[in-house]
Amino acid sequence: MFATRRRISHVSISHGLLSHVSGLAQTALTARRCFNGTCRRSITRRISPSPLLIKGQDDVVGARNRARARLFSTISFNDPIEYEWIEGVEPLALYEPGGYHPVMVDDLLHRRYRIVDKLGHGGYSTIWLAHDEQTTRYVALKIGISGQMLPRREPSILSALSKSVANQETAPELLDASTTLPEILDVFNVQGPNGIHVCYTKTLAQGNLKEASFSRLFPIEVARLLVGRLALAVSLIHSRGYVHGDIHLRNVLVKLPSTIDELSIGDFRKTFGEPETVPILRADGEPLPPNAPPMAVVPLYLGRMAEDFTVDDANGLILGDFGEAWAPASEDRMGGDCNTPVAMRAPETLFEPDTPVSYSHDIWSLGTAIWEILGMGFIFDEAATTDEIVAQQIDMLGSQGLPQAWREHWERPKWEELVTETEVNVPRRPPGEEREAWPPLEEAFEVFVQRYRREQEAMGVFGEEETRAILELMRGMLRFKPEERMTIQEVLQSEWMTKWALPRDG
């Protein structure tokens, strides 16, 4: 846990709820104050650049803007209003026609959903904690951008998956895995100054594994179970003919106990703290347009830290965000249109951007997510350039499996003239003197995973036999040629899954 604490107010709630919620509340209040070691209360501002130049505001906008600009033909990225930048909130320049819907705390949407706080944001939506005044329960309310059809995909795909599981014969382990998919509770539209927005409510979750595991390790039994549950979720999705398309730890959530619904909004805020808001200001000092809200809300993290995760938490894993999902049998998704962050993205999307990708894309991303769950750090450098990330992949996995066409392009000298935009964007080897080589897979596991587990021995260390099985699984999932990668069934049947992860499932 973080060292900084705020005293938790006493409210009248049941003893069983208090013991669980107070722990979450301390984490939530601390996480709101501190993020990546910096205090969120001392918020800094600077002029926000054009959305096509935004870097690092979140994992979606920034790395994905070029692809999104092609998709969102209804959004005008010309001469956007520039706002003073606020740490930790959504890109404010996307409060424009076709973009985000302006929302404020205490707003009532669809005549039933009272906005209590913010949970997060992505490139296609903002996510809010809302209280359903009809059912008196808390829900996660996702409000999509208005400019494109993608926000409508998630509820329709999840509905199709749910019906498929209910109507078809399903293996017992996959029937159990159906609890790893989000439950869509309600779907509706709201009209606002930026257009018509698709909204839907889902079961409330603690938060994502990326936030939970920042500089922290999951206990070894919990880490194994999280991986097993995540693999089963992917297996269920693939068995129903879908590719998730965006597997990384920010999209992996953990359920909250339903007993939190016993809290009134007032008691919730006494327990977890008041919403943290910051005034939104234009860089030119002019008044705000109606497209943007007057205040930005810093997201509230409701979850535990990784070291405090229990087996019950791991059993509540949910794989969320199906906005990038597709069915390969009925539609093509070109590599260049994949919006997974580059460090988690299968290499064929980079080397062959005009070629359709399929289930093997998920396998690569799942492999990188497994590594991160086991060792708290990402297998490749998320902050590196595309060329550097590919160089790290080759360093770690070896160049033997690199397809010849990829190798030829990779090794072309920087000075050699390239003709097409596709050629220019395909990765090329960076000059050797400008980079430090990444360690090979076995050494990387020792340096990036085991070393930290030995330093925190209470979290558990992988033994020699288990380490060998993990590395064998990683090599099977992280193969350069997509046709040579394991299928999800082969992943589930691997030695490590069958001996260490899946037997502990459930």
Residues that constitute the known binding site for ATP: 142
Tokens read off for 303: 């979850």
Burial of 73 (0-12, 13-18, 19+ CB in 10 A): exposed
Burial of 482 (0-12, 13-18, 19+ CB in 10 A): buried
Cβ atoms of residues 280 and 165 within 8 Å? no
Residue with tokens 């993205």: 345
Q: Is 316 helix (H, G, I), strand (E, B) or coil?
A: coil
Which H or E run includes 415? none
DSSP per-residue string spanning 86-136: -TTS--GGG-STTSPPP--TT-EETTTEEEEEEEEE-SSEEEEEEEETTTT
Tokens read off for 59: 């994992």
Q: Is the dihedral of CA 210, 213, 215, 220 positive or negative?
A: negative
Which H or E run includes 317? strand 317-319
Per residue in 131-167, is it b (16+ CB within 10 Å) or e — as a string? bbeeeebbbbbbbbbbbbebbebbbebbebbbebbee
Q: Which residues pair with 276 in a beta bridge?
A: 298
Cβ atoms of residues 379 and 442 within 8 Å? no
Dist. CA 329–CA 358, nearest whole Å: 9
Tokens read off for 91: 């890109």
Q: Annotated binding residues, as ranges? A: 142
- Helix, strand and coil in the chain, % to nearest 5: 40, 15, 45
Per residue in 307-318, is it b (16+ CB within 10 Å) or e — as a string? bbbeeebbbbbb
